[in-house]
A and B are shown apart, each in its own frame.
Chain A
């Protein structure tokens, strides 16, 4: 497999490479489902079959194909700032309320993108970068700024990391979120300088406090009003009196190099460090494969990222076409993040076309500890076991069962579930076995992270049949037939199993 068409990889040991690559991967329903579960949200049977038919190489190309940008959630994304000083306090409050409702619209807009993204990684990568450069609306305040940032993530999600980093850094959201805006040479704010190195590029032990101080001096003189910034991407400088008066033009010594560094200089020097590619690859690995990183594998992946000049797509390709990725030990090793868990379930229940029940959408984000545009802090969502505790686990079950029984601890939710169509979507072509047997197989494949044993398998069948025989069960029975309430019970039972939390 050609890892990158533009720039052939030169510095990978060819033996090691062939070892990592696809030759030995058995491309079957298990490996195809594994890849889909990790790269898209709520894959269904149709999508799994498409992957098997297309073969691995074509499938990965399709997953990583660049997509056209969607049209924005509203005209407000380009709206200019109000003149706050001329407004009465009531008028200000009204605008703040408008902003809040725009953010709710924006959340739904994104959720719809995530559910309807097809067999493509773009939306999951956008979510990945949202957690990577975690910025929260509660501080950033301007929906326009949050949209700009989200758009940057989507635009650059598989592009060049350096471009992405610059776009994010000098966008209004990050400038507000980590206090770049307004930082002056007399007493620079260290917030961004530290997180730039610790969380965005190098990792905690790869810089010193004097590097933080030097970088904080370089990142002075940049400001934003919440929608625009005084940074010019072409000249790589700021403008206006903020730049001339507040930027520190003196020499700074950063990582042993002395000069009149600007923010861009700091970014360039950081990206020259080997640790940076390692740091990015670790985070990608954790997001897509497992919480505990295989360092040997990461070394190879980071080599690919470096030799491709920080182009992200070749590194992803390397990961998804490696034998390592398809080791069955990783099946079910991902504790699903809440957004993908519930949006994926909505999709598999074929409810993705329906408008969101607003209350449901708000409650589930709040209670499962993952609110879009409101990560807990700049470290983003920790993921994996941090998703699961004595609060979230029962709610992950209850709030998803609510899609079926319309009840939850927070009230009833009214979306319509066409239960026969769910079952119909789980029947194979050219399969002579009883419908219910096929359906249970496919439910296990798609909804549960780990294969189950005979006992549990029988238990699932018993719930679906409730004393009837497998041949009594028929996907063409009308919706009022008692079979379908047993099928609802079966779905809820599956949602309540620990295996359901994993992918």
Chain B
């Protein structure tokens, strides 16, 4: 009891301000070295509709007679569905989403999946989590790889705030790196800290044997240590949240949104949240259960949206639904649907291009298994988020997926570093690779013959290197920037011509 009392009183102290979490407000780089791929305070909230959401009963092709023919028992009657275009309507439980759509705050991407869709829940979830092709098994998550690019060597260079929070207890693939997991499982932040700290034994740094047993011990220790550190930060953020927290539905998904809202409002800089809603594997009598699920989800998103709007945080946030697959076009004999392939993805936010992307599903042209064709690869969604929402450069994205995937214009390319252009056609085209190890190439274009000076600064503005190149001809040039003598970290490269200069941030990893 004593220990818990002590924890309570120390938490109270934090709230009173003796340890005011200035650290919570954006000083991402304080503890650790970080790469510069992500350059924003933007937040991505992913919701897994677990089990395979029935896309056709969520976004209903309500003018399509095939839909009613294939689903005599479970089609949503057209007069009950909520039209959003001439041919498409939302499930009657999604009134809020209909409003978001009208407000241009909902983008719907049709027919998302991947080639040769796998109909196993487990395999297909793994594919979505790892970002692989159907025939390739990866052991790291797409977000694990992204975050490891940002924080090389994680967890050694673990940042002050958790990189990702997940509300599912399984040790999921999505945030997994080769050696660790960047995702932190979270439940009630208030009790989390007291339980963790009350049972934490500071690491004795004893040797870990080089055996499989040692590997597992290292894993448990690391998780023990990281949970201890993060639990304090999270508890502070939750305490720091304003008291205007709205009335969230008392459902599992509602509570996940509530905690997410507290943490964002409380200043946690975590960029990724993964929420879960179970129950979408609707093989049997799906009408009632599906409606309940959608209505829970819709309510939760609605409250969260309103709250983030009121706190003026909404423009930092994007919400994306994912599901391992859609469902079969025709119903089965149990008034349910079996596993399918593609389904729509729903994206919510105030800073996106609302509307429908892609064509209405063609219910007559199906694959060999009677499933819908895929219009967009799921990694096009991921790529759009990384490039247009988080501002990752092409080099970084190349390291996350084996292929290039085209973006989908539900987000504008606002953050991504365009070639920087100075007066009269002078431009800094980019620095590749970035981050770099031994050397990197600076690409620039001169409008006319002129003198060029290249400088390298550290982040405090101190000049580290100056190279005077003399007069160069008009046209494109490459300059090789040598990392010799520099330590790992962030730098600014500057290309100067007479009367004008352009700069770009680069990172060196030794």
Chain A residues near B (Cβ < 8 Å): 179, 182-184, 186-191, 194, 198, 204, 209-210, 212-213, 290, 292, 328-335, 369, 376-377, 379, 382, 384-386, 388-395, 397-398, 401, 407, 409, 449-453, 455-456, 459, 493, 496-499, 501-502
List of A residues within 8 angstroms of B118 by Cβ: 204
List of A residues within 8 angstroms of B224 by Cβ: 393, 498
**Closest 10 CB pairs between A and B?**
A332-B213, A390-B227, A389-B185, A333-B212, A397-B199, A329-B211, A187-B333, A498-B220, A184-B333, A453-B206
Q: Are A382 and B199 in contact (CB under 8 A)?
A: no
List of B residues within 8 angstroms of A179 by Cβ: 283-284, 334, 336
List of A residues within 8 angstroms of B201 by Cβ: 493, 496-497
Identify the interface centre among B1, B213, B369: most chain A CB within 10 Å of its CB: B213
List of A residues within 8 angstroms of B119 by Cβ: 194, 209, 212
9-residue interface stretch from B89-97, B187-195, B391-399, B406-414 = B187-195
Could you write out 26 A-B pairs with CB less than 8 Å apart?
A183-B334, A189-B284, A189-B334, A190-B332, A190-B338, A204-B120, A204-B122, A210-B368, A290-B212, A330-B212, A382-B170, A384-B216, A385-B219, A388-B171, A389-B171, A394-B199, A398-B195, A398-B199, A409-B194, A409-B195, A449-B213, A449-B216, A449-B217, A453-B206, A498-B224, A502-B220
Q: How far, in angstroms, from A204 to B126 measured CA to CA in the complex?
A: 12
1/0 contact string of B463-491 vs chain A (CB within 8 Å)? 00000000000000000000000000000
Q: How far, in angstroms, from A179 to B204 measured CA to CA in the complex?
A: 52
B227 interface neighbour in A332, A333, A393, A452, Cβ under 8 Å = A393
Q: How far, in angstroms, from A4 to B186 measured CA to CA in the complex?
A: 49
1/0 contact string of B151-194 vs chain A (CB within 8 Å)? 00000000000000000011100000000000011110001101
Q: How far, in angstroms, from A209 to B371 measured CA to CA in the complex?
A: 11
Q: How far, in angstroms, from A183 to B199 measured CA to CA in the complex?
A: 51
Shortest distance from the beta carbon of B6 to any chain A beta carbon, whole Å: 14
Q: How far, in angstroms, from A103 to B46 measured CA to CA in the complex?
A: 36
List of A residues within 8 angstroms of B358 by Cβ: none
Q: Are B196 and A335 in contact (CB under 8 A)?
A: no
Shortest distance from the beta carbon of B232 to any chain A beta carbon, whole Å: 12
A455 interface neighbour in B206, B211, B230, B333, Cβ under 8 Å = B206
Shortest distance from the beta carbon of A230 to any chain B beta carbon, whole Å: 16
Q: How far, in angstroms, from A289 to B404 measured CA to CA in the complex?
A: 40
B199 interface neighbour in A292, A390, A496, Cβ under 8 Å = A496
Q: Return the chain B residue nearest A184 by Cβ.
A: B333
B169 interface neighbour in A186, A328, A389, A493, Cβ under 8 Å = A389
Q: Are B120 and A194 in contact (CB under 8 A)?
A: yes
List of B residues within 8 angstroms of A333 by Cβ: 211-213, 215-216
Q: Return the chain B residue nearest A197 by Cβ.
A: B120
Q: Return the chain A residue nearest B214 by Cβ.
A: A450
B185 interface neighbour in A292, A330, A391, A498, Cβ under 8 Å = A391
Total A-B Cβ pairs within 8 A = 164
Q: Quick check: is B510 within 8 A (CB to CB) of the other chain?
A: no
List of A residues within 8 angstroms of B368 by Cβ: 209-210
Q: Are B206 and A452 in contact (CB under 8 A)?
A: yes
Chain B residues near A (Cβ < 8 Å): 1, 118-123, 169-171, 184-187, 191-192, 194-196, 198-201, 204, 206-207, 209, 211-217, 219-221, 223-224, 226-227, 230-231, 283-284, 330-334, 336, 338-339, 368-369
Q: Are A189 and B198 in contact (CB under 8 A)?
A: no
Identify the interface centre among A213, A398, A450, A496: most chain B CB within 10 Å of its CB: A450
List of B residues within 8 angstroms of A498 by Cβ: 217, 220-221, 224
Q: Return the chain A residue nearest B206 by Cβ.
A: A453
Q: Are B212 and A329 in contact (CB under 8 A)?
A: yes
Q: How far, in angstroms, from A451 to B184 measured CA to CA in the complex?
A: 29
List of A residues within 8 angstroms of B214 by Cβ: 332, 450
Q: Return the chain B residue nearest A330 by Cβ.
A: B212
B198 interface neighbour in A183, A388, A398, Cβ under 8 Å = A398
Shortest distance from the beta carbon of B234 to any chain A beta carbon, whole Å: 9
Q: Are B122 and A390 in contact (CB under 8 A)?
A: no
Q: How far, in angstroms, from A385 to B175 measured CA to CA in the complex?
A: 14
* Known A179-B283, A191-B338, A394-B195: A388·B330 in contact at CB below 8 Å: no
A330 interface neighbour in B192, B213, B221, B284, Cβ under 8 Å = B213
Q: Are B215 and A187 in contact (CB under 8 A)?
A: no
List of A residues within 8 angstroms of B220 by Cβ: 335, 388, 393, 498, 501-502
Q: Are A209 and B211 in contact (CB under 8 A)?
A: no
Q: How far, in angstroms, from A186 to B331 measured CA to CA in the complex?
A: 11
Q: How far, in angstroms, from A455 to B221 measured CA to CA in the complex?
A: 17
Q: Are B217 and A502 in contact (CB under 8 A)?
A: yes
B211 interface neighbour in A331, A389, A398, A456, Cβ under 8 Å = A331
Q: How far, in angstroms, from A450 to B199 measured CA to CA in the complex?
A: 20
Q: How far, in angstroms, from A183 to B331 measured CA to CA in the complex?
A: 12
List of A residues within 8 angstroms of B338 by Cβ: 189-191
Shortest distance from the beta carbon of A39 to any chain B beta carbon, whole Å: 17
Q: How far, in angstroms, from A449 to B262 measured CA to CA in the complex?
A: 39
Shortest distance from the beta carbon of A487 to any chain B beta carbon, whole Å: 17
Q: How far, in angstroms, from A450 to B212 measured CA to CA in the complex?
A: 11
Q: Are A392 and B221 in contact (CB under 8 A)?
A: no
Q: Are B169 and A369 in contact (CB under 8 A)?
A: yes
Q: Are B171 and A407 in contact (CB under 8 A)?
A: no
Q: Return the chain A residue nearest B195 by Cβ.
A: A394
List of A residues within 8 angstroms of B169 by Cβ: 369, 386, 389, 391-392
Identify the interface centre among B184, B195, B227: most chain A CB within 10 Å of its CB: B195
Q: Return the chain B residue nearest A387 by Cβ.
A: B171
Q: Are A382 and B171 in contact (CB under 8 A)?
A: yes
List of B residues within 8 angstroms of A331 by Cβ: 211, 213
Q: How far, in angstroms, from A212 to B117 measured CA to CA in the complex?
A: 14
B191 interface neighbour in A182, A209, A330, A409, Cβ under 8 Å = A409
Q: Are B199 and A182 in contact (CB under 8 A)?
A: no
Q: How far, in angstroms, from A205 to B205 measured CA to CA in the complex?
A: 43
Q: How far, in angstroms, from A329 to B208 measured CA to CA in the complex?
A: 12
Shortest distance from the beta carbon of A215 to any chain B beta carbon, whole Å: 13
Q: How far, in angstroms, from A411 to B368 measured CA to CA in the complex?
A: 56
Q: How far, in angstroms, from A204 to B230 measured CA to CA in the complex?
A: 37
Shortest distance from the beta carbon of A440 to any chain B beta carbon, whole Å: 15
Q: How far, in angstroms, from A183 to B214 measured CA to CA in the complex?
A: 49
Q: How far, in angstroms, from A391 to B191 measured CA to CA in the complex?
A: 10
Q: Are A187 and B199 in contact (CB under 8 A)?
A: no
Q: How far, in angstroms, from A110 to B450 measured CA to CA in the complex?
A: 85
Identify the interface centre among B207, B215, B333: most chain A CB within 10 Å of its CB: B333
List of A residues within 8 angstroms of B284 by Cβ: 179, 189
Q: Are A390 and B185 in contact (CB under 8 A)?
A: yes
Shortest distance from the beta carbon of B398 to any chain A beta carbon, whole Å: 28
Q: Are B204 and A455 in contact (CB under 8 A)?
A: yes
Shortest distance from the beta carbon of B158 to any chain A beta carbon, whole Å: 13
Shortest distance from the beta carbon of A366 to any chain B beta carbon, whole Å: 11
List of B residues within 8 angstroms of A499 by Cβ: 217
Q: Are A187 and B217 in contact (CB under 8 A)?
A: no
Shortest distance from the beta carbon of B400 to any chain A beta carbon, whole Å: 23
Q: How far, in angstroms, from A442 to B151 measured CA to CA in the complex?
A: 42
List of B residues within 8 angstroms of A496 by Cβ: 199-201
List of A residues within 8 angstroms of B199 by Cβ: 394, 397-398, 401, 496
List of A residues within 8 angstroms of B206 by Cβ: 452-453, 455-456
List of B residues within 8 angstroms of A452 by Cβ: 206
B213 interface neighbour in A187, A329, A376, A388, Cβ under 8 Å = A329
List of A residues within 8 angstroms of B196 by Cβ: 390, 394
Shortest distance from the beta carbon of B175 to any chain A beta carbon, whole Å: 11
Q: How far, in angstroms, from A333 to B216 measured CA to CA in the complex?
A: 6
A390 interface neighbour in B1, B204, B231, Cβ under 8 Å = B231
Shortest distance from the beta carbon of A315 to any chain B beta carbon, whole Å: 22
